Chains A and B, each alone.
Chain A
Amino acid sequence: MAELHAGEQIPEVRVTPDKFLTVRYAGASGDFNPIHIDEEFARAVGLPGRILHGLWTMAQVARAQTEAAGGPEHLKRLSVQFRGMGVPEQEVIVSGTVRELAGGRALIDTVAEQDGKQIIRNAEAELEF
């Protein structure tokens, strides 16, 4: 696990979803909305192409927290706002800053970005030790 200090950043998670990630995540999660898996359908409804599942991106934000904390048992709460959309084959970067650390509890302000734009913003994680 990383050493957490108030005011400091947690280690970044950088991940580039490959071309077929959305298909695997659809199967794993049960969310088969065609905007995530069908290029033609996505374009027909005005999207640039297939987009990432917001909850997959949220899972990357969660992973940044559990990796920083040293295990899944430490993550007690995560709230996020979805903005814009993520796309496959471009790097997603999750970053976060420890806002508070006291009494065995840490609050982390965290975001996910792609191509310089926040696709998850105003996210807050609560860790327990």
Chain B
Amino acid sequence: MPVNTKAIGKTYEPVVYAVGREKIKEYTRAVGETNPVHLDVGAARDAGYADVVAPPMFAVVYSAPSVGPPIFDPEIELNFAMMVHGGQEFVWGPLVVAGDEITTTASVKDISEQDGRGYYVFESISTNQRGEQVCRGTWTNIVRGV
């Protein structure tokens, strides 16, 4: 059965995430980062940042919620039970620090089929409160047996 490609280009409602200092520290510990700019506000300020700095992969925390609506969009007909996360790319701009407010908009970048697998590629664009693009995420989900 061919995959349904009519949603390519569709954009979803933005998701706003307020970045908290303790959340950055919790994430930092969970991934084993030890750089003090992620854990100690004094060290972050000494390094020239306004507050503790989010590790780059903290992008998952503020941008992943934007990708839920496309994954479960009935128009896309993605079979979630058969889905695996096949690939991920992040492209980063200015670092995110505690106190930032990040707005993320997701869209459907591509839907295709190859060898009985469906490839669902979503893009997330995250900007901070100054309108600077802090991250662009490309989320590739593979569905077996389409």
Whether A and B are associated in the same complex: the answer reads yes
| CB of B39 within 8 Å of the partner chain | no
Residues of chain A within 8 A (CB-CB) of B29 are 24, 28
Residue ID in chain B nearest A17 by CB atoms: B32
Total count of chain A residues near the partner, CB < 8 A: 30
Contact between A56 and B30, CB atoms less than 8 A apart = yes
Contact between A15 and B32, CB atoms less than 8 A apart = yes
Assuming the contacts A21-B30, A62-B55, A66-B55, asked whether A71 and B89 have C-beta atoms less than 8 A apart, the reply is no
Residues of chain A within 8 A (CB-CB) of B33 are 59, 63, 66
Docked complex Cα distance between A21 and B29 (Å): 10
Docked complex Cα distance between A55 and B37 (Å): 21
A106 to chain B, nearest CB (A): 15
Docked complex Cα distance between A124 and B30 (Å): 23
Contact between A81 and B65, CB atoms less than 8 A apart = no
Contact between A55 and B60, CB atoms less than 8 A apart = yes
* Contact code string A12-37 (vs B, CB < 8 Å = 1, else 0): 00010000010011011111000000
Contact between B55 and A29, CB atoms less than 8 A apart = no
| CB of A78 within 8 Å of the partner chain | yes
Contact between A66 and B91, CB atoms less than 8 A apart = no
Total count of chain B residues near the partner, CB < 8 A: 30
Contact between A82 and B85, CB atoms less than 8 A apart = yes
Residues of chain B within 8 A (CB-CB) of A60 are 31-32
Residue ID in chain A nearest B62 by CB atoms: A30
Partner of A56, one of B31, B56, B61, B95: B31
Contact between B92 and A76, CB atoms less than 8 A apart = yes
Residues of chain B within 8 A (CB-CB) of A30 are 61, 64-65
Contact between B30 and A79, CB atoms less than 8 A apart = no
| CB of B18 within 8 Å of the partner chain | no
Contact between A55 and B89, CB atoms less than 8 A apart = no
| CB of B90 within 8 Å of the partner chain | yes
Docked complex Cα distance between A25 and B64 (Å): 14
Residue ID in chain A nearest B92 by CB atoms: A76
Docked complex Cα distance between A56 and B31 (Å): 6
Docked complex Cα distance between A58 and B86 (Å): 12
A29 to chain B, nearest CB (A): 5
Residues of chain B within 8 A (CB-CB) of A3 are none
Contact between B55 and A72, CB atoms less than 8 A apart = yes
* Contact code string B81-97 (vs A, CB < 8 Å = 1, else 0): 00011111111100100
In the complex, the 4 A-B pairs of residues with the closest C-beta atoms, listed nearest first: A79-B89, A28-B30, A59-B31, A59-B57
